[in-house]
Amino acid sequence: MVVNKDFAVQMSGITKRFGTNTALDHVDLNVQKGSIHAILGENGAGKTTLMNILYGLYQPDEGEIYLQGEKVDMKNPNVAIAHGIGMVHQHFMLVENFTVAENIILGQETCKAAGILDMKKARQTVNELVEAYGLEVDPDALISDISVGMQQRVEILKALYRGADVLILDEPTAVLTPQEIKDLMGIMQRLVRAGKTIIIITHKLKEIKASSDFCTIIRRGKWIQTVSLIEVDENKLADMMVGHAVKLKVEKGPAHPGATIFKMEGVHAKDARGVKALNDLNLELRCGEIYGLAGVDGNGQKELVEVITNLRKTDEGKIIMNGEEIQNTTTRNTMNHKISTIHEDREKRGLVPDFTVEENVVLDTYMKEPFSQKGLLKFKPIEEETVQLIHDYDIRPDHCEKDPIRGLSGGNQQKVIIAREIANDPDLLIAVQPTRGLDVGAIENVHRMLVEERDKGKAVLLISLELDEVMSVADRIGVIYDGHIQGEFKQGEVDEKTIGLLMAGGSIS
Ligand SMILES: Nc1ncnc2c1ncn2[C@@H]1O[C@H](COP(=O)(O)OP(=O)(O)OP(=O)(O)O)[C@@H](O)[C@H]1O
Ligand SMILES: [Mg+2]
C-alpha cells in the first residue's frame, strides 16, 4: 500500500484476533478526503471491529493507521478525537436526563472564571453547528424526550463539536424511519460539501448506491475489493459481499390460510405517557398466513406487541389466542399460549448480554424438559440444542455456544433471537423488525424461515417499518394508523402508493 497524504484515512494490513477467532485478517482501507466511503460485509465480517480500531477502542494485533500520510498510534479514543476522528455508534451513548446541549459539551465543557459552566457559550456553539450543517435540534430538549433520529443528530453534533473531520457512522440508518433516512442522507451531503469525510457502515445496498462514492467489501475478516459506486449495481454488491449470487426477492408459493387462531377485538390501550395508543383495534390472524403490518413508526405498533405479550395493560377489549382470552394476564401466560415474539429492541427485550449464547437460547425454556429435570439444569441438552441452532441459522463464529453473547456481532445476536423464537415452536410468531441489522444474505434466510413457518401452518405477524419488506413477504397486509387498522389487503391487491396514503392517515373510498 502506498502512503499518500490525499487520503484522509489509510489502514494497512490490519489484523485483529479475539482468542482463536481472527476477526480481521490483513485488511486495507483507503479513504479519500471529502468522500463518502461505505463498508459492506456480512454480519460478523469485521466492519465494526475495523472502525473500533480506527477510533482507538481496540488495538490491532498487526497493521498501521495513517491520517493524511502521517502514521498515528491510535492508543485510545482521546488520540482519535485529537486527530479529528469522530464515531457515532449504533447504540447511542447519550445521557438521557441531560439536555441536548449538555450532552454535546459533556467532557469538553467551557468554563467561566471560578469553574462555572458557561452554558451560554455552549448553547451558542451548538447553534452555530446546527446552522452550518442543517442539523436542526432543540438545544434545550431532554434526550429522553426526543426521537431516535434526533438523538442521532445529537451524536453527530457531539462529534463535530469535538472537531471531527472524519465521521464514522456505524449502521446509522438501522434505527431510522424512511423520512429520517432521507434527512440523514441530506446531512451527509452537506458535511461532505463542507470538506468532511464520512465512513458509513450499512447493510442497505440501495443507500450505499444512493449516497456513497466508494465501497470496500469485507468478507469473513478479509478485504475483498474496493469499488467506485458508479461502476456497480446492487446485485453486484450483494454478490461480492456474500461470495455467490443472492436473490434480492422473496420466493414463496401461494398461502393456504386455515382457521383463525388469534383475534383482537376492540382493543384500547395507552402508551407509556398515558396517551391513547391503541384505539378500537381489531385484528384476526389465521394459520398458514403471514400478516404484515405496515405503518409509520409510533402509530401503535409497539403498544400492540406489548398488550399481546402482556407487557402493557389492555384498557378495553379482548385478545384471544386459540379460543382463550389472554389480555391482562402475564408474559408467561402469553408464551404458554404458544406465542413467540422477536422483539424490536434486542438489547432491552431479547437478550441478556452477559449470558452465554447457550444461556440466551434457553432463556424461556430452561425450566422445561429436556433442559432441566427435577429442578436441575441439564447442560448437555442445552449445549446440543445451541450447537444445532448455530449450525442451522449460520450463527458466526461457529462454536460460540459458551461465549457471552455481547461478543457476537449485532447481526449474529439477532440471528440467535430468531433461532430461539422459532425453535420454541410457536403457533403464532410475532416478528417485529426481524431483519434489522442483518446482511442481505441473512435477510433472505429470515424471510425464507417466515415462509417456512407459514407453510407448517403457523400464523405469522410481521411488523416492519420497511414497506418493501411487508409488501414482498406478507400474504395479507394491514395498515396501522393512530392505533387503528386503517385498511387490509391481500398481497398483490394493492400498490405501494395506496399503502403509503393510508400510512399517512389518508383514506380510500
Ligand atoms: N469484544 C469482542 N470480543 C470477542 N469477539 C468479538 C468482539 N468484538 C467483535 N468480536 C468478533 O469479531 C467478529 C467481527 O465482529 P464485528 O462486530 O466487527 O462484525 P460486523 O461486521 O460489524 O457485523 P454486523 O453486521 O453483524 O454488525 C465477530 O466474529 C465477533 O464475534
Ligand atoms: Mg457491526
> Per residue in 292-343, pLDDT tens?
999 988 899 999 999 999 999 999 999 999 999 999 999 999 999 999 999 9
Q: Are both 234 and 351 inside the same structural domain?
A: no
Model confidence at 509, pLDDT cuts 50, 70, 90, reads low
Q: What is the pLDDT of residue 332?
A: 94
Count of C-beta atoms within a 10 Å radius of residue 99:
20
Model confidence at 445, pLDDT cuts 50, 70, 90, reads confident
Task: Find the 252 Cα to ligand 2 centroid distance in Å.
Answer: 30
Examine residue 321 and state whether it is found in any structural domain, yes or no: no
- Chain-wide mean pLDDT for the chain? 92
Measured in residues, the chain has a length of: 509
Q: Is the CB of 409 under 6 A from ligand 1?
A: yes
Tell which phi-psi region holds residue 14, choosing left (phi > 0), alpha (psi between -120 and 50) or beta. beta
Q: What is the pLDDT of residues 184-200, one digit of tens each?
A: 999 999 999 999 999 99
Examine residue 272 and state whether it is found in any structural domain, yes or no: no
Contact predicate 29/11, CB 8 Å: yes
Residue where a domain terminates, one of 374, 393, 426: 426
Closest by CA to 492, choosing from 472, 468, 465, is: 472
Q: What is the pLDDT of residues 449-467, one digit of tens each?
A: 999 999 999 999 999 988 8
Q: Is the CB of 49 under 6 A from ligand 1?
A: yes
Examine residue 109 and state whether it is found in any structural domain, yes or no: yes
Read off the pTM: 0.85
Q: What is the pLDDT of residue 408?
A: 93
Q: What is the pLDDT of residues 135-174, one digit of tens each?
A: 888 888 999 888 888 899 999 999 999 999 999 999 998 8
Among 11, 17, 18, residue to substitute to test ligand 1 (most atoms within 8 Å of Cβ): 18
Which CATH number belongs to the domain containing residue 407 in this structure?
Answer: 3.40.50.300
Number of domains in the chain: 2
Examine residue 305 and state whether it is found in any structural domain, yes or no: no
Start-end of H helices in 26-176: 47-54, 77-82, 100-105, 119-133, 148-161
Whether the pLDDT of residue 134 is over 90: the answer is: no
Examine residue 445 and state whether it is found in any structural domain, yes or no: no
Cα gap 447→450, rounded to integer Å: 5
Q: Is the CB of 396 under 6 A from ligand 1?
A: yes
- The full 3-state SS of 143-155, as one line of letters, equals HHHCCHHHHHHHH
Cα gap 469→249, rounded to integer Å: 10
Task: Find the 409 Cα to ligand 1 centroid distance in Å.
Answer: 4
Cα gap 376→128, rounded to integer Å: 62
Q: Is the CB of 77 under 6 A from ligand 1?
A: no
Examine residue 294 and state whether it is found in any structural domain, yes or no: no
Examine residue 466 and state whether it is found in any structural domain, yes or no: no
Where in the sequence is the domain holding 67, given as residue range(s)? Answer: 7-242
Examine residue 450 and state whether it is found in any structural domain, yes or no: no
Q: Which position has the grid cell 403498544?
A: 303
Task: Find the 55 Cα to ligand 2 centroid distance in Å.
Answer: 14
Q: What is the pLDDT of residues 216-260, one digit of tens each?
A: 999 999 999 999 999 999 889 988 888 887 777 788 999 999 999
Q: Which triple of cell numbers denotes residue 47?
A: 466492519
Among 48, 218, 396, 443, residue to substitute to test ligand 1 (most atoms within 8 Å of Cβ): 48
